[in-house]
Structure 1
Amino acid sequence: MGTNNRLMFNDISFGKPNPDCDNLACKGYVDVCEKRIYDLQQLLEVAQMLCSTLEFKRLIQSVLDSCTAQFLVLSAGVFLRDTIDSDSFNLGGNYTGFDIESGDKFKIHEDSPLIEFLEKNGGVYSPAELRGKLMAFLPERERADAENDICLLESLSTSLVVPLIQSGHLEGVLVFGEKIDIGTDGGKSSGYYSEYDKEQILVMSSLAAIAINNAALVERSSTDMMTHLKFKFYFFNILSDKMNLAVRGGESKICVLMFDIDFFKKFNDNYGHACGDYVLQTVASIIRSNIRDTDMASRYGGEEFTVMLDRTGGEEAMNVAERIRKKIEEYDFCYDGMNVRVTISAGVAEFNPARDGGISPKMLVDSADKALYMSKRNGRNRVTFADSSVIDADSQPER
């Protein structure tokens, strides 16, 4: 007995099974210890990864990838507020693995009893557990809303719901899809999570909530609240990073589009500043809806906008700019019962790292700006590419 106890102690102390030990309890305990050490190492790597980026979309994707890999689920998603003033938590594009056409229809209002419960109590719940807890304390008049939200989660084949809470504030709701059965749950039902699993998930959710809160603060400080586009300084920071990456890679082209609303002053003068704000917001929305998640749009100043198209050549960029110009020209701008015609002029500049290694972000944007001026001079409501003849031109017409 003494020998076996001594072997078990040695096995556990060194964290590896002793080949001379035939004590099954000893080997099993060592296996558990090794798994927990591995899990801690994984959580450390996840923490380092989540701290390495403040770019919101990349961060959310990192959270989802970590959850599916670490907790063996086929799908995962995060319900988040779209904007700082949003009144609901939306799935949107913040998911991976779910077999759905779009996440836009998956929304939970901020006043929902489900949201109130999750923010107040935290924890980790299956949809069935949530239903039981909510129905136990909610008055009859609120149960239907709670049931609708739980059914919404169940329609995603949700196995677990995890509120992401930072400093008592709900940052989002993490949902896990179907759990992969690897035969280690002792024959329990599908979607089973052990208490140890739930402890690990709570640690992960705490890390994710902190990272999302930090990224959200950066997002808010770098975003124009009127148009929901990035500020000029942030645009230049990201453009500089992308250009440096392109130079190191030597292949990927980058294009900058610059837009200016034609005769914008007349909207403020003739219809008031509220109309001008409406035009700015609508144009910004059209621009944002016609570019990819990997691209970036900014409010450059006043009625000017810039767009960075990553991994895009000049010809494709011209097509994107022309599509946006045409969408704005055809859009029915209706303010206070009045129809107003809005057009936009654009300039396009290309950065080719194989050819333009010495060009700075400011020089690239200046080239797009010169092409924009050429569009203005040639009659407005058109797109011009910044070739050598445009870049050398000095004439700048009235906007």
Structure 2
Amino acid sequence: MAKSKKNSALEASSEKQIYDLKQLLEISKSLNSVIDFSTLIEAILYTCMGQMKTLGVAIFTKQNFDACCFQLNRNYCGFELNPNSDYSFPETHPLIALLSSQNSCVTPEVIQKELTPDTALKNLMELNPSLIVPLKAKSHINGMLVLGEQITAEEYSTYEKEHILNIASLAAIAISNAALLEMTTTDMMTHLKLKHYFYTVLMQRLEDSISQKSPLSILMLDIDFFKRFNDTYGHACGDVVLQMVASVIQANTRNQDMAARYGGEEFVIMLCDTPVHTAEKIAERIRKSIENLDILYDSQHLRLTISIGVAEFNHTVDQTAKNLVDRADKALYTSKQTGRNKVSVAE
């Protein structure tokens, strides 16, 4: 009888392992079919929550390819953050070194035992993590997963820790691939997307807009009298102005939106699931934020303004993505011709 129970347990364990291997194969296919970084992060989060049965999960990654610290991605689930806390770790932080030196998960107890407390660790521990998992690709760490409260009261088993490590390895490879794509599709100056990639994504989103009958709007933006900054203070000043405008644009867009440097001092923003009246409000918010900027450069306080054109996709008028962008560009031209520092909506 005891032998029969043992065989049944072994059989159940083998079936569980086979099932999990099949799951890993599906996870690998799923993650590596996603090229958009934000969408990839969401896929990783929901996969980990489902597989590990936790009430929360977050991921720390580098915000761009030349960043020197790992920051909490704004896509996270199940955690209540302190708005006054900084959730980031320099790549030289002892926790990153600990995760890099071993191919295993780390519990909060291990962190408290082996690492000297500092502000970064204090902020992390306030999230009440249940497990910290390194994201390693080719022995190189490119982030970490933070698992929240478990649904069950039981501690993670050795098998469960190995399983999440396997998922993390697949996630790390997918993140590396997405980072390579990010490098080839991102403007080095502003960290916004490049024009050609913007059009590639826009064409796909327009198809989705038609099939799902959801609104989509475009903003075209141009810095007013930009040449004056270059002529008066030099091109280095112009670079600072471009970066400041890009940061305002990023602060006023969502993960599902996309902003790109269209060329020179022009920018373009795709606002998904956004009708024209909402897009106009977003454009006005960006315009005001830029108007209120006080840029200190070479002991000089610089002020700038921006003109914006807005257009909503209309499948009976806009036969191509270029048609839609051109309509937004014409609205931008109206703003420039009627006084600048204003928002105009395309007919």
Secondary structure of the equivalent of 2:59? strand
Q: What amino acid is the match of 2:48? A: C
Partner of 1:217: 180
Q: What amino acid is the match of 1:267? A: F
8 Å Cα contact 1:333/1:340 also seen in 2? yes
Pick one of 206, 213, 217 that aligns with 1:255.
217
What is the TM-score when the length of structure 2 is the normalising length? 0.94
Pick one of 39, 44, 64 that aligns with 2:25.
44
Kindly state the Cα deviation for residue 352 of structure 1 after the two structures are TM-superposed.
2.8
CA distance in structure 1 between the aligned counterparts of 2:85 and 2:172, rounded to whole angstroms: 22
Partner of 1:128: 109
Kindly state the Cα deviation for residue 232 of structure 1 after the two structures are TM-superposed.
0.4
Kindly state the Cα deviation for residue 34 of structure 1 after the two structures are TM-superposed.
2.1
Q: Any runs of at least 4 consecutive aligned residues in structure 1 with deviations exceeding 6 A, and if so which?
A: none
CA distance in structure 1 between the aligned counterparts of 2:74 and 2:284, rounded to whole angstroms: 26
CA distance in structure 1 between the aligned counterparts of 2:324 and 2:298, rounded to whole angstroms: 39
CA distance in structure 2 between the aligned counterparts of 1:289 and 1:43, rounded to whole angstroms: 36
**In the alignment, is residue 377 of structure 1 matched against residue 341 of structure 2?**
no
Partner of 1:11: none
Cα offsets for 1:49-79 (capped at 9, x unmatched): 1011011111111111111110111111111
Matches within 5 A, 1:177-326: 177-181=148-152, 190=153, 192-249=155-212, 251-326=213-288
Kindly state the Cα deviation for residue 191 of structure 1 after the two structures are TM-superposed.
5.5
CA distance in structure 2 between the aligned counterparts of 1:365 and 1:299, rounded to whole angstroms: 13
Partner of 2:129: 158
Distance 1:61 1:102, change over 3 A: farther
CA distance in structure 1 between the aligned counterparts of 2:262 and 2:85, rounded to whole angstroms: 29
Q: What amino acid is the match of 1:272? A: G
Distance 1:26 1:121, change over 3 A: closer
Percent sequence identity is 46
8 Å Cα contact 1:252/1:352 also seen in 2? no
8 Å Cα contact 1:224/1:231 also seen in 2? yes
Q: Which consecutive unaligned segments of at least 5 residues does structure 2 have?
A: none
Kindly state the Cα deviation for residue 168 of structure 1 after the two structures are TM-superposed.
2.2
CA distance in structure 2 between the aligned counterparts of 1:274 and 1:149, rounded to whole angstroms: 34
**What RMSD in Å do the two structures reach over aligned CA positions?**
2.0
Cα offsets for 1:321-342 (capped at 9, x unmatched): 1111121112222222212221
Kindly state the Cα deviation for residue 101 of structure 1 after the two structures are TM-superposed.
4.6
Distance 1:68 1:365, change over 3 A: same
Q: What amino acid is the match of 2:89? A: I
Further displaced range: 123-132 or 312-321: 123-132
Pick one of 169, 186, 191 that aligns with 2:140.
169
Distance 1:150 1:286, change over 3 A: closer
Q: What amino acid is the match of 1:165? A: K
Secondary structure of the equivalent of 1:95? coil
CA distance in structure 1 between the aligned counterparts of 2:125 and 2:332, rounded to whole angstroms: 50
Kindly state the Cα deviation for residue 37 of structure 1 after the two structures are TM-superposed.
2.1
CA distance in structure 2 between the aligned counterparts of 1:228 and 1:158, rounded to whole angstroms: 31
Kindly state the Cα deviation for residue 270 of structure 1 after the two structures are TM-superposed.
0.6
Distance 1:277 1:191, change over 3 A: farther
Higher relative contact order (CA 8 A, sep 6+): 2
Partner of 1:360: 320
CA distance in structure 1 between the aligned counterparts of 2:117 and 2:22, rounded to whole angstroms: 43
Secondary structure of the equivalent of 1:257? strand
Partner of 1:66: 47
Q: What amino acid is the match of 2:15? A: E
Kindly state the Cα deviation for residue 345 of structure 1 after the two structures are TM-superposed.
0.9
Cα offsets for 1:276-317 (capped at 9, x unmatched): 111111111111111222111100000000000111111111
CA distance in structure 1 between the aligned counterparts of 2:222 and 2:170, rounded to whole angstroms: 42
Partner of 1:97: 78
What is the TM-score when the length of structure 1 is the normalising length? 0.82
Number of residues of Structure 1 aligned to a counterpart in Structure 2: 347
Q: Which consecutive unaligned segments of at least 5 residues does structure 1 have?
A: 6-22, 136-142, 182-189, 388-399
8 Å Cα contact 1:295/1:308 also seen in 2? yes
Distance 1:205 1:103, change over 3 A: farther
Q: What amino acid is the match of 2:330? A: K
CA distance in structure 1 between the aligned counterparts of 2:37 and 2:321, rounded to whole angstroms: 22
